[in-house]
């Protein structure tokens, strides 16, 4: 579906460009956006490699187990069926930790691993378990304490104070996470009845 949306947007842009006589601007935008895309990819790849390496060190040093213990009082009510020493719980905590640090790209492998492990614990392979739903909600509407990726993007585009948006990020991400969890947990309770 997304391919159709992108294709439609591109076709509409080209047709509008021809109709309004802006083909020179369209050609210039295509060339400039290609170069800036490569520059952005290289910038983000460096940050992603750094944080992925730090997360790998955290796993091998046992830091993930410590984080799992710290988060267990908060996550236990949301995931009551999971063993807090199990690999699914640790993957969930590492995903949440990466999201707290604002490095969603480094959180993705942990999220995929957690979903795979939650799927193996699920008795019904054709339906998502409540734990899977809560995890997806938490991952999507994640709380960010340090918006690293956003600050990197702001700095790469010339911001003199890339972290000045930290207070609005805290407020908006906390509200979105709270609302999403309330809705998911409410629907979960209604489903059990």
Is the pLDDT assigned to residue 64 strictly greater than 80?
no
> The domain containing residue 119 runs over which residues?
62-193
Tens-digit pLDDT profile for residues 164-173: 888 888 898 8
Q: Is residue 47 part of a domain?
A: no
Q: Is residue 71 part of a domain?
A: yes
Cα 128 vs. chain centroid, distance in angstroms?
19
Distances (CA, A) of 126 to 88, 119, 131, 134, 143: 19, 10, 14, 17, 29
Mean predicted confidence (pLDDT) in 68-84: 81
Name 170's Cβ contacts closer than 8 Å, sequence gap at least 6.
Answer: 143, 144, 145
Q: Is residue 45 part of a domain?
A: no
DSSP 86: S
Is the pLDDT assigned to residue 190 strictly greater than 70?
no
pLDDT category of residue 192 using cuts at 50, 70 and 90 = low
Q: Name the domain count of the chain.
A: 1
Tens-digit pLDDT profile for residues 99-142: 777 677 777 888 889 999 998 888 777 788 888 889 988 888 88
Query: What's the confidence (pLDDT) of residue 8?
Result: 92
SS3 category, 170: helix
Q: Tell me the pLDDT of the chain averaged across its residues.
A: 82
Query: Which stretch of 133-137, 151-155, 189-193 has the lowest confidence by average pLDDT?
Result: 189-193
Tell me how far apart the alpha carbons of residues 135 and 141 are, in angstroms, rounded to a whole number: 10
SS3 category, 179: helix
Retrieve residue 64's tokens. 């993930």
Query: What's the confidence (pLDDT) of residue 146?
Result: 77
Q: Is residue 43 part of a domain?
A: no
| Inter-residue contact 48 to 104 (CB < 8 Å) | no
Q: Is residue 40 part of a domain?
A: no
pLDDT category of residue 189 using cuts at 50, 70 and 90 = low
Tens-digit pLDDT profile for residues 5-31: 989 988 998 888 888 888 888 888 878
Q: Is residue 21 part of a domain?
A: no
């Amino acid at each position: 579906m997304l391919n159709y949306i992108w294709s439609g947007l591109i076709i509409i842009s080209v047709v509008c460009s021809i109709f309004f006589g802006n083909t020179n601007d369209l050609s210039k935008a295509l060339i400039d956006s290609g170069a800036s895309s490569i520059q952005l990819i290289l910038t983000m790849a460096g940050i992603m490699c750094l944080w992925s390496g730090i997360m790998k060190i955290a796993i091998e040093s046992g830091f993930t187990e410590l984080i799992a213990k710290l988060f267990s009082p908060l996550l236990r009510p949301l995931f009551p069926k999971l063993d807090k020493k199990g690999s699914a719980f640790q993957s969930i905590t590492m995903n949440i930790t990466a999201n707290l640090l604002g490095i969603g790209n480094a959180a993705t492998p942990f999220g995929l691993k957690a979903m795979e492990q939650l799927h193996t614990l699920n008795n019904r392979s054709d339906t998502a378990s409540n734990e899977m739903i809560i995890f997806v909600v938490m991952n999507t509407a994640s709380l960010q304490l340090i918006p690293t990726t956003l600050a990197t993007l702001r700095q790469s585009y010339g911001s003199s104070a890339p972290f000045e948006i930290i207070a609005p990020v805290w407020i908006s991400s906390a509200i979105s996470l709270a609302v999403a969890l309330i809705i998911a947990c409410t629907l979960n309770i209604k489903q059990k009845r």
